[in-house]
Chains A and B, each alone.
Chain A
C-alpha cells in the first residue's frame, strides 16, 4: 500500500502475468496438462474403439448400412476354421513360452557365470536378430528353409541322413518355421532381461548356501530362482500375450492362405474375415472371443504363479 510507484507498478504487472498464466505455476493443474495426451488417446484410441468392437460384434456391417443381428456372429465364430486357427495359436503360444523362458534362462546363467569370456561380444550378437523386421527375417528364413533339396536346411537334413522336407507344406514344419522365427528374433532380448535380474541377486545368499553345503541345483532352486521369479512371471505373461497376437510370422511364410490353414492364426482369421472379406462384425466377434481366451489364460497363469497371493513377488 505504501510502496513507491515503480514497485507498485512492478507488482501489478507480475500479478497480471501470474493471473493470466497461473496454470503454468499451479501444482494442481500442471499434472492434468501433462497427462492430457494420454487421456485423449485413451478415450479416442482405446475406450471408444473397444466399445465399438463390442458393439460391432453384434452387427452385420455392410457398406453404408449396419444391422443388429444379435448373437449371430458369435454362433458363427465356433466353426472348424476358427478351431484350426485357435489350435495353431495355442500350440504356438505353448511352444514359444517354453522356448523363450527356459533357453534364455539357461543362456543367461551361463553368460553370467564367472568363467564365461567375451561376454560383451556374445551379448551384442544375440541381440542383432531383434533389430530385424519379421518381413526381412522371414524372407531369409524362407530361403534357408526352402522347399528345394538344395536349401541350407534340407542339405543339413540330408547330411545327417534324413529326407528333405517341403517346409511350408506340412503342418508340423509350418509350426516349426513360425516358432523358430519368433524364437530366433526374441531370445536375445529375453536373455538380457534374465541377465539383469541375475546381476541383482544377493551374493551373500550364495555364500551362505555354500557354507550350508548346498549343491548347484539347490543353490538355483533356493537362491537364484526365487530372486528372478518376477522376471519369469513377466516374460511368460508377455510371451503368452504376444503369442495370441501372432500374425506376422504366419503372414511372411504363407501370406494370407496356407494349405489346409496350417499357418492360420486367430489374428490372421480376424484379418481374413474383417479386412479381406469385409465382414467387420464377424471379425470383431472373433476379436472379442480372443480377448476372452487371453483373459482366462492370464488369470490361470497369475493364479498358477502365485501372483495373487498376498505378500508374494
Chain B
C-alpha cells in the first residue's frame, strides 16, 4: 500500500463520508425531531405540526410535567406493565430457548431432525395466521387481559432456539465428556459448564427478545382489554385517536419509552452486532 494517499483516494474518502453523513442524518432526524417535539409547547405542535424550523415559541418541560403530574394518566402503569412483561420474557425465553437449542446441537437422539424442522416451520409460518385460534384459546383459558396471556406465545422463541443451536454447534464436546467423568449431571453440564461458554449468545438474545417484547404490538392489542393492563405501545396507540391526538403526553411518553431499550442495547451492543451476524445467516 502506498504511504501517501493519492488525491483521488482522498476525494473518494470524502465522498463516502459525505454520503454516510446524509444516511446518518436521515436515520437520526426522526429521533431528534421527537426529542425536540417533546420539549416544545403542545399548542404550537397542534397549530403548525412539526416544522423544519425546530424552534418553537419556547422550550420547556411542560409535556413531561403533564406526564408526571396528571391524575388520570395511566402512563406509568403502562411503563410498569411493559417492564414486567419484557423482563420476565427475557428471562424465561432465554432459559427455555437456550436449553432447546443446546440439546439440538450437542446430543444425538431420536426425533432430533423432526424437532429442528419444526423450529424452522414455525419460523416460516406467520404468527398472524394463528392469532385468531390463539385468541380463542386465551379466552377459554381466561387469560385475556393478563400478563401471562401476552407472554405465552413468546416464551419459547424459535428464532432464539435456532440462534442458540448455531452458537452451541461451535462448542467443544470434549468438555461434556470431561464433566461426565467428574460425575456431573447432564443438567449440571449445561448450567455450570456450557451455558457460561454461551454467554455472548445470551447477551445477543437478551437484546433481541427484549426488543421484540418491548415493541410487540398486535398480540398485546388483541389480548389486553383494560387501560390498567396496557403495555406501552398499546397504551401510546390509544393516544393516537381519530378525534385528535394527545400530543402532550404522546411525545414525552414516546421519548421516555425508548430509554430502557437504549440502555439494554448499549449494555449488550458489542455482542448484539456480533450475534446478529454470526447466528442468523448460514445459508
Contacts and interface: CB of A to CB of B under 8 A. Distances in A.
B118 interface: yes
Contacts of A21: 185
B214 interface: yes
Contact of B278 (A136, A143, A196): A196
A208 interface: no
Contacts of B128: 245, 247, 267, 270, 287, 290
A39 B115 contact: yes
Contact of B218 (A33, A140, A247, A287): A247
A148 B48 contact: yes
A133 B215 contact: yes
A310 interface: no
A197 B240 CA distance: 40
Given A38-B100, A241-B126, A24 B133 contact: no
A136 B34 contact: yes
Interface string A35-79: 101111110011011101100100000000000000000000000
A155 B51 contact: yes
Contact of B109 (A28, A52, A294): A28
Interface stretch (A1-9, A94-102, A184-192, A218-226): A184-192
Q: Which of B129, B265, B273 has the most CB of A within 10 A?
A: B129
B282 interface: yes
Interface in A74-97: none
Contact of A25 (B23, B186, B218, B273): B186
B52 interface: yes
B277 interface: yes
Interface string B121-135: 110111111111111
A103 B19 CA distance: 12
Contact of B31 (A48, A129, A248): A129
Given A56-B132, A247-B128, A139 B251 contact: yes
Nearest to B161: A38
Contact of B135 (A121, A136, A244, A275): A275
B99 A184 contact: no
Q: Which of B9, B186, B218 has the most CB of A within 10 A?
A: B186
B33 interface: yes
A131 B31 CA distance: 11
Interface residues of B, number: 92
B13 A125 contact: no
Contact of A196 (B121, B262, B277): B277
B146 interface: no
Given A133-B217, A152-B33, A234-B280, A245 B137 contact: no
Interface in B214-253: 214-215, 217-218, 222, 232-233, 236-237, 240-242, 250-251
A193 interface: yes
Given A131-B261, A143-B37, A155 B52 contact: yes
Given A24-B187, A245-B128, A135 B233 contact: yes
B170 interface: no
Interface string A136-160: 1111111110111011100110000
A44 to B, nearest CB: 8
Nearest to B211: A131
A116 interface: yes
A9 B276 CA distance: 54
B52 A117 contact: no
A230 interface: yes
The 4 closest A-B pairs by CB, nearest first: A196-B277, A30-B186, A34-B103, A146-B49
Given A46-B125, A230-B283, 20 more contacts: A25-B186, A27-B107, A32-B109, A34-B102, A34-B107, A37-B96, A38-B118, A116-B20, A131-B262, A131-B265, A136-B254, A136-B258, A143-B37, A148-B48, A152-B50, A156-B52, A184-B30, A274-B135, A287-B128, A288-B129
29 contacts: A28-B109, A30-B107, A30-B187, A32-B109, A37-B155, A45-B134, A45-B156, A48-B133, A111-B20, A122-B23, A135-B254, A136-B257, A139-B240, A140-B30, A140-B33, A143-B45, A144-B50, A150-B48, A187-B27, A188-B27, A196-B281, A230-B281, A234-B281, A244-B126, A245-B127, A252-B237, A255-B240, A267-B126, A288-B129
